[in-house]
């Protein structure tokens, strides 16, 4: 096996690992966002967990995070504005990345 093949395999492995971390961080961010939004809406306990999972599920509608944003914007109308939601999305993405990195 050549050095080129070894390097190619290493890059492919790193790409797959990075993609997995990105997916896990986005899912974690969405769960954290759901928990935050549930608190804003006054949900507690099982209702809050169910709402958080609905936010995670919303991310599978289309690529990117706009589907999650639209769900939160609609659900939080009159409670939180778009800038607040986007700020929470950014803050919780940083937190999710930190949490996933600690697990890895």
In the chain, domain spans: 3-103
Residue 77: what are its φ and ψ, rounded to 5°? -55, 125
CATH topology for 3-103 is Major Prion Protein (1.10.790)
pLDDT at 21: 87
CB 52, CB 31: distance < 8 Å: yes
pLDDT at 100: 92
Residue 87 CA to residue 7 CA, distance in Å, equals: 39
pLDDT at 1 over 70: no
Residue 58: what are its φ and ψ, rounded to 5°? -60, -25
Q: What is the pLDDT of residues 16-34, one digit of tens each?
A: 887 888 889 999 999 999 9
Q: What is the pLDDT of residues 31-86, one digit of tens each?
A: 999 999 999 999 999 999 999 999 999 988 788 889 999 999 999 999 999 999 99
Using pLDDT thresholds of 50, 70 and 90, give the confidence band for residue 5: confident
| Rg (alpha carbons) of the chain, rounded to whole number | 17
The dihedral built from the CA positions of residue 17, 23, 27 and 30, taken in this order, carries a sign that is positive
């Amino acid at each position: 096996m050549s050095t080129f093949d070894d390097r190619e395999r290493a890059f492919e492995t790193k790409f797959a690992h990075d993609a997995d971390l990105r997916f896990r961080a986005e899912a974690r961010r969405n769960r954290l966002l759901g928990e935050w939004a549930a608190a804003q809406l006054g949900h507690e306990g099982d209702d809050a967990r169910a709402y958080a999972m609905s936010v995670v599920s919303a991310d599978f509608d289309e690529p990117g995070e706009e589907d999650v944003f639209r769900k939160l914007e609609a659900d939080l109308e009159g409670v939180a504005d778009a800038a607040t939601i986007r700020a929470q999305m950014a803050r919780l993405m940083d937190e999710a990345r930190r949490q996933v990195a600690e697990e890895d």
